[in-house]
């Protein structure tokens, strides 16, 4: 009997793509459809959840739908493109290589290769599902004929949305002297954290001398993180900017609860999970108008179109000085989160897969 199977180069429990893939597999199985996760490289932590991709060929059934989680370059892309099953691509976006190239050529090459993979997949794909309308536009530009949008089902982990325990709260939460700005996500060049740091320097100079910025996330490349640290030092902000590195979900939850505002200065985002996490935590968001961020915000945040640090600092200062506005933004965030309906995203995704599977079966009859 045919099934719906999920393919991902590597499955990690801790990352958003890994959690998303597991949720899709579980949602597929709940429909009574056979569903497995196939990987190129088996990881010990998820070995009991996965099968090696090369094993798929032996058990492949006529009428199978295969879903490829596309977030990076992988041999899986041409391999799946060369097969005959109904192919679905779940597109999580590729960071433009030009943003990475000044910092890490190897990672930029990987992103460039991922673009090539996208071109290989496009003519073979029955349906491409994007995280956001922004990503869907990129799919259309890359030659995918049939597309749909479903937000990432695992954007909100249970741990991040749960109330944090006191021991995970940052030490200085009680003794703060100024606004606490928060930036969450991988420390990568496309996040353009330097804009947040520059705005903090302007804010401390003029409006909020005690303002601080917490950067929570794992560095993607050492060269970028080291440059940020040097920049912080040059601006005399060593005591105002902290880098937490990798943080557990509990620590991330605590960071949201102890901050005053989430600041997003990314130059490129395919979805921006921290925006919805902040909405869940009731934290106001001030963000640049790049990538999918304005779409995900959906009006429930402050969007800054200028790249001037003073404009960003002013926007943040205006929110922090106005408690009524903060409450208003938090309420708007909760409404927007309800619109996105993330808890049912996996089911909506599987609806699309089921339709494809049934269409294939109808054709064979």
Partner 1 sequence: MSSSSSGWSGDAEPTEDGAEESDHLSVSGVTEENQARAGEALRASFARLSPQGSDEWNFMGAFTHLGDRYGPYQPGASDLADLLRAKGGSATKRGGRRGRLFSSAEPAVDGEKPEIDDAMTHVIEAFRFMHARVSTLEARLRTEDVPLDGAAWLAPTRELDGWIEPITALVLARSPGGDVVHADCGEGALVRALAAAGTPSHGVEPRGAVALRALERGSAVTISEVAEDLARRPASSLGGVVLSGVVDRLPLHAIVPLLADCRRALAPGAPIVVVSEPPAEAAGTTPTSQDMVDRAALHLETWELLLDRSGFVDLTPLPDGTGGDERFGIAASTPAT
For partner 1, the binding residues in 110-149 under the rule CB under 8 A are 110, 113
Instruction: Please list every residue from 33 through 52 that binds partner 1, using CB under 8 A.
Output: 40-42, 52
Nearer to partner 1 among residue 129 and residue 263 (C-beta): 263
Q: DSSP letters along 149-194, please?
A: E---TTSS-HHHHSPPPGGGS-GGGTT--S-EEEEES-B-GGG-HH
Kindly state the smallest distance separating residue 99's Cβ from partner 1, in Å.
11
Rounded CA separation 19/249 (Å): 13
Kindly state the smallest distance separating residue 303's Cβ from partner 1, in Å.
4
Among 22, 184, 297, 350, binds partner 1 (CB under 8 A): 297
Please give the backbone phi and psi of residue 149, each rounded to the nearest 5 degrees, phi first: -120, 125
Applying CB under 8 A, which part among 129-137, 166-174, 244-252, 321-329 lies near partner 1? Answer: 321-329
Rounded CA separation 28/4 (Å): 7
Applying CB under 8 A, which part among 18-26, 108-116, 142-150, 346-354 lies near partner 1? Answer: 108-116
Kindly state the smallest distance separating residue 47's Cβ from partner 1, in Å.
13
Q: Please, what is the angle between helix 309-320 and helix 193-206, to 10°?
A: 70
Could you tell me the two tokens for 340?
Answer: 């996105």
Applying CB under 8 A, which part among 91-99, 146-154, 261-269, 300-308 lies near partner 1? Answer: 300-308
Q: Please, what is the angle between helix 323-340 and helix 309-320, to 10°?
A: 100
Among 119, 318, 338, 361, binds partner 1 (CB under 8 A): 318
Q: Which of 133, 48, 128 is nearest to 80 (CA)?
A: 128
Across the strands, what pairs with 87? 66, 125
Rounded CA separation 88/81 (Å): 10
Rounded CA separation 227/126 (Å): 43
Instruction: Please list every residue from 186 through 205 that binds partner 1, using CB under 8 A.
Output: 194, 198, 201-202, 204-205
> Any contact of residue 84 with partner 1 (CB under 8 A)?
yes
Instruction: Please list every residue from 196 through 255 that binds partner 1, using CB under 8 A.
Output: 198, 201-202, 204-208, 221-224, 226-227, 229-238
> Any contact of residue 13 with partner 1 (CB under 8 A)?
no
3-state secondary structure of 103: coil
Q: Half-sphere exposure of residue 296, counting CA atoms within 13 Å on the CB side? A: 31
Among 104, 249, 347, 351, binds partner 1 (CB under 8 A): 104
Among 306, 327, 344, 355, binds partner 1 (CB under 8 A): 306
Nearer to partner 1 among residue 81 and residue 255 (C-beta): 81
Q: Which of 1, 20, 33 is nearest to 351 (CA)?
A: 33
> Any contact of residue 53 with partner 1 (CB under 8 A)?
yes
Instruction: Please list every residue from 143 through 182 that binds partner 1, using CB under 8 A.
Output: none
> Any contact of residue 79 with partner 1 (CB under 8 A)?
yes
Q: Which of 83, 88, 76 is nearest to 129 (CA)?
A: 88
Please give the backbone phi and psi of residue 51, each rounded to the nearest 5 degrees, phi first: -130, 150
Among 59, 102, 123, 245, binds partner 1 (CB under 8 A): 102
Applying CB under 8 A, which part among 88-96, 132-140, 168-176, 311-319 lies near partner 1? Answer: 311-319
């Amino acid at each position: 009997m045919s099934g719906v199977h999920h393919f991902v180069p590597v499955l990690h429990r801790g990352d958003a793509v890994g959690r998303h893939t597991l949720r899709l597999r579980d949602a597929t199985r709940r429909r009574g459809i056979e569903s497995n996760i196939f990987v190129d490289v088996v990881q010990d932590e998820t070995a009991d959840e996965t099968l090696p991709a090369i094993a798929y060929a032996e058990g492949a059934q006529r009428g199978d739908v295969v879903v490829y989680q596309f977030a990076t370059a992988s041999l899986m892309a041409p391999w799946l493109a060369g097969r005959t099953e109904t192919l679905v691509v779940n597109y999580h976006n590729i960071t433009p290589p030009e943003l990475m190239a000044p910092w890490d050529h190897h990672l930029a090459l990987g992103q460039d290769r991922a673009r090539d993979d996208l071109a290989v997949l496009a003519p073979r794909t029955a349906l491409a599902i994007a995280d956001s309308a922004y990503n869907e536009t990129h799919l259309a530009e890359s030659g995918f004929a049939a597309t749909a949008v479903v937000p990432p089902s695992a954007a909100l982990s249970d741990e991040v949305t749960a109330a944090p325990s006191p021991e995970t709260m940052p030490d200085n939460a009680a003794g703060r002297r100024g606004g606490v700005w928060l930036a969450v996500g991988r420390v990568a060049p496309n996040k353009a954290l330097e804009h947040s740091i520059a705005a903090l320097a302007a804010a401390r100079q003029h409006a909020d001398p005690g303002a601080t910025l917490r950067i929570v996330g794992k560095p993607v490349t050492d060269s970028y993180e080291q440059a940020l640290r040097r920049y912080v030092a040059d601006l005399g902000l060593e005591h105002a900017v902290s880098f937490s590195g990798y943080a557990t979900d509990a620590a991330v939850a605590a960071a949201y609860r102890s901050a005053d505002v989430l600041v997003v200065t990314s130059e490129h985002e395919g979805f921006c999970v921290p925006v919805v996490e902040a909405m869940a935590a009731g934290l106001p968001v001030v963000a640049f108008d790049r990538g999918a961020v304005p779409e995900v915000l959906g009006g429930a945040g402050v969007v800054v179109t200028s790249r001037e640090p003073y404009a960003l600092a002013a926007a943040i200062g205006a929110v922090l000085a106005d408690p009524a506005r903060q409450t208003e933004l938090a309420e708007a965030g909760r409404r927007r989160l309800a619109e996105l309906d993330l808890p049912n995203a996996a089911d909506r995704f599987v609806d699309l897969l089921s339709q494809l599977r049934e269409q294939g079966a109808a054709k064979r009859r």
